[in-house]
Amino acid sequence: MAACVLHHACAGAEPFPVAALPGTTLNAQIPDYEPSDLVWHSRLQRLFSVSDGSAAVSARVFSLTDAGTGLQFWEMAGDLEGIAVANPATNFVYVGTEQPNQIKEFNFATGLVSRTFDLDPWMTGASGSGLEALTFVTDAGHPEGGTFYAGLQDGGVIYRFSLPILSSPTSTAVNYLGSFTPVAGRNDLSGLDYVAGTGVLYAIYDGPNYLRAMTPAGSLLREWDLPGSNQEGVALRGNDLFIAQDSGDIVRYTPFAAVPEPGPLAAAAAALAAGLAWRRARGRQRTVARK
């Protein structure tokens, strides 16, 4: 995928698409929440997010429909800042925490954390500026189905980790794969989302109010000014862009054109990746059941 070939992506941020404004608020059931990070669950057709706790609402994982209805939540201790879905065929979501910087494997069917992966040996930031974003980048050729990308608010660095989510149901080993900084000198990275159908990684920056589309290696594809404030989560589904704001809102902007539009080859590759991940997950479940 060639970088910096769409419009004037290398020259600076584009205005946010007027057709998608003003956006639709989904906060009717979460006015006291502080949403941080966001992911679309393709099997359940629901949004998942986390709230790191406020005076009115305890820290929790929560889920909504794309209309902001049908609230479900699960309380979880910690400074919750990120959430990702590695394999929608399972009942696991992965929750990123700050201070300590960790990824927790959470089973929303049981409401329990099954294991915790410690990222502190690699991710360090100023107080209150640690892990702030999390996504899973699928890879059909990877033994674990892909890799986790964790965003550090301090310095805007993205760290890559391989975790034994398919090879073992109990191991908490962490394999650090390296890091990159999409924009040198830009802080306040606050949300990540990977769209498997197009191979595009999206990042949002709360302070400067930018939405950035790039390759998984960090090469710029396109960048927009981002409306709103306190943006701490991003998720895409087709031409719908969802932004979580920790002031107590999730906003849906549509139509928002994906970058690039999925072609037949990309769609086939995404379907193959999903199928392989599902088969690995089924094999893992059978192995656990036999023990």
CB 255 within 8 A of CB 238: no
What is the amino acid identity at position 166? L
pLDDT band, very low/low/confident/very high, at 98 (cuts 50, 70, 90): very high
| Per-residue pLDDT, 121 | 95
By the 8 A CB rule, do 35 and 245 touch?
A: yes
User: Residues 226, 207: contact at Cβ < 8 Å?
Assistant: no
* Per-residue pLDDT tens over the stretch 15-36: 999 999 999 999 999 988 999 9
Mean pLDDT of 193-200: 95
Three-class secondary structure of residue 93 per DSSP: strand
Cα distance between residue 277 and residue 261, in whole Å: 23
Give CA separation, 219 vs 63, 167, 181, in Å. 32, 31, 10
- Using 50, 70 and 90 to split pLDDT, how confident is the model at 280? low
In this structure, is the dihedral angle defined by the CA atoms of residues 168, 266, 5 and 85, taken in order, positive or negative? negative
pLDDT-derived band at 6 (thresholds 50, 70, 90) equals very low
- The 10s digit of each residue's pLDDT in 143-169 is 999 999 999 988 999 999 999 999 999
| Residue range 75-94, pLDDT digits in tens | 999 999 999 999 999 999 99
Contact assessment for residue 253 and residue 225, using Cβ atoms and an 8 Å cutoff: no
Domains with residue ranges and CATH for the chain: 18-290 (2.120.10)
Torsion of Cα atoms, 6 then 12 then 18 then 20, to 10°: 70
Q: Whole-structure pTM over 0.85, yes or no? A: yes
pLDDT digits (tens, 9 = 90+) for 112-122: 999 999 999 99
